[in-house]
Amino acid sequence: MHILLFDDPAIQPNLLPFTFTRPVAALRCGILTIAEKWQHHLQQPVHYLTQPHLREKFPAGPTEGPALVINGAVCPDEKLIEQVQALQPGEALLSEELLVAAYLPDASKVAELIQDGYRDVRQAKGSLTIISQPWHLFQQNGDQIRQDFALLTKGRQSQPVNDAHTIVYGAENIFIEEGVKIRAAILNAEDGPIYLGKDVQVHEGAVLKGPLAVCEAAHVNVGAKLRGDNTVGPYCRVGGEMANSILMAYSNKGHEGYLGNSVVGQWCNLGADTNTSNLKNNYAPVKIWSHAAGRFVNTGLQFCGLMMGDHSKCAINTMFNTGTVVGVGANIFGAGFPRNFVPSFSWGGSSGFETFRLPKAGEVAERVMSRRNLPYDQPEQDIMAYVYEATAKDRVWERAAGNSTAPIVIE
């Protein structure tokens, strides 16, 4: 039976800018992506039912025969897995009005299924973890690290710390994969587990506090302070101070500076001494830009920092205000605070923006990806081209330029 993780049309737009460049189920929360969680629980490959511009990079796989169709925004646990596996052909599992999963006898009928084409309905038992807003990623990260840690380490033996100058607290809550190198660090897992993936390097003077996931081949730089509920994704590099935040993969926050209650996509770079505000001076709830609503929306949270889409960069000493959203492929620099919403393919900072043209953005992406021996291939180029066109309406200075010969400046 095929496993298909679908983008719920009521949820996917709310998770932009991250879902511009990936399916909902490819979002990382905890140690694993949502898709990887389902794959580990179900012990078989999973595929995606996603947006047309993403399908070449994230294929649906086989479309014949029976399929288990699962909402890609729902994080599994053992209780939910039991309910999903108990479904019979034609049955669907709902949480109130939300379609969680369905057993489809014929995978070619998937579109009809999502349009209420199932025969029988069951209501899910227990509370579900549903990632339906960007800030849910960091909100749920600590709990998801704990669940993923239990899933990945069950019945397995951790590698030893193997460094006489490293101090360890709560050793029973630390799991180290093969190839990890640690030098003169502090690992404190008394308040939550610490997972160090294959070939991770933890450098001198770093302080790591759980819950924490440092994924495959990531580096924790000298003197880093990881304060808990953090995920450092595969092949990322992190330094400075980080709290309750996620770096998806292949992104760098290599230097001093604070990142709190934030989510950073892939292929991003935060320049030295970049700082994010995650608390307003008046302690009021934080509002952030919603691509779906086309306006700022209230998160209801007192703490919320930076949401940065894939392939975006910022220069040294960048200061991000509370609840800043940066789109895909933006390049931010200059003194002062950039605006709280930086559209995709922006070039500039607090003094104004112009458009980071697609060919130039592509040159940077190709250069950055080649440093990790990965190609900026046609599927990736096509995704970037789609996002460039889809977000043109957000770059208001382009409309202004069409009506005036005045300099293009955002106040």
What is residue 409's predicted lDDT score, i.e. its pLDDT? Answer: 33
Segment 116-127 mean pLDDT: 78
pLDDT tens-place string over residues 7-49: 999 999 999 999 999 999 999 999 999 999 999 999 999 999 9
Contact yes or no for 225/244 (Cβ under 8 A): no
DSSP state of 160: P
Both tokens assigned to 399 = 């409309």
pLDDT at 64: 79
CA nearest neighbour of 32 among 269, 178, 172, 195: 195
3-class secondary structure, 395: coil
The string of pLDDT tens digits covering residues 54-74 is: 999 999 887 778 899 999 999
Q: What is the pLDDT of residue 119?
A: 64
pLDDT on residue 206: 98
Cα gap 316→64, rounded to integer Å? 52
Q: What is the pLDDT of residue 122?
A: 87
- Strands of the 207-209 sheet, one edge to the other: 167-169, 186-188, 207-209, 225-226, 241-243, 258-260
Summarize the confidence of residues 117-141 as an average pLDDT: 90
**Chain segment 257-282, per-residue pLDDT in tens:** 999 999 999 999 999 999 999 999 99
- Return mean pLDDT, the chain: 94
- Residue pair 212/195 in contact (Cβ under 8 Å)? The answer is yes
pLDDT at residue 170, as a whole number: 97
The yes-or-no verdict on residue 411 having pLDDT over 70 is no
Q: Is the pLDDT score of 407 beyond 50?
A: no
- Enumerate the β-bridge partners of residue 123: 94
User: What is this structure's pTM?
Assistant: 0.94
Average pLDDT (365-392) is: 97
| Exposure letters 89-104 (e unless 16+ CB within 10 A, then b) | eebbbbbeebbbbbbb
Residue 81 has pLDDT above 60, yes or no: yes
**Residue 384 predicted with pLDDT over 90:** yes
More confident residue, 353 or 107: 353
| pLDDT tens by residue, 221-259 | 999 999 999 999 999 999 999 999 999 999 999 999 999
Start-to-end C-alpha separation, the chain: 55
Report percent pLDDT > 90 for the chain. 88
Q: Which of 99-113, 224-238, 375-389 has the lowest mean pLDDT?
A: 99-113
Q: According to the model, what pLDDT value does residue 402 have?
A: 59
Question: Is the confidence at residue 367, as pLDDT, over 70?
Answer: yes
User: What is the structure's pLDDT at 405?
Assistant: 35
Q: Report pLDDT for 115.
A: 57
In whole angstroms, what is the distance from residue 205 CA to residue 221 CA?
9
156: pLDDT confidence band, cut at 50, 70 and 90?
very high
Asked which of 3-12, 327-336, 393-402 is least confident by mean pLDDT, the reply is 393-402
Average pLDDT over residues 207-225: 98
Q: Quickly state the pLDDT bin for 404 (edges 50, 70, 90).
A: very low
